[in-house]
Structure 1
């Protein structure tokens, strides 16, 4: 490494940006994932006669009067 290259400030060198880019991209991906989860895939209202338990949606069995 030449003396000129070692005198550069840290933000003008390549290696700090390579080290910062991984965690920065992960943080951006996390923010995008949380945004999509809250706005697009939040719990939607369920019709009458349907019960949602976690990720499973079940149809309620309606008992008919037998006479």
Structure 2
């Protein structure tokens, strides 16, 4: 009788669905925070000019 009552619980009362949802949810939250910071904190910084020659990047002299 006890085994029947545990298997008839609703899915939101179980632990495993929440553990499976937690990983992608945290990744989505982290992605949203990263996009927010990229557009608000570093949006006004200029891109440094440089010349790429092979694997080396040299700064352009003004």
TM-score over 0.5 (shorter chain): yes
In our comparison, the structure showing a higher alpha carbon Rg is 1
CA distance in 1, matches of 2:18, 2:46: 45
Equivalent runs, 1:23-42 vs 2, <5 Å? 23-42=24-43
Provide the alpha-carbon RMSD of the alignment. 2.5
Moved over 6 A (4+): none
Q: TM-score, normalised by structure 1?
A: 0.65
Equivalent runs, 1:1-67 vs 2, <5 Å? 2-45=3-46, 52-53=49-50, 58=59, 60-61=61-62
Q: TM-score, normalised by structure 2?
A: 0.70
How many residues end up aligned between the 2 structures?
A: 55
Alpha-carbon distance, 1:60 to partner: 3.0
Unaligned residue ranges in structure 1 (runs of 5+)? 62-67
Q: Which structure has the highest helix share of the two?
A: 2
- Counterpart for residue 65 of structure 1: none
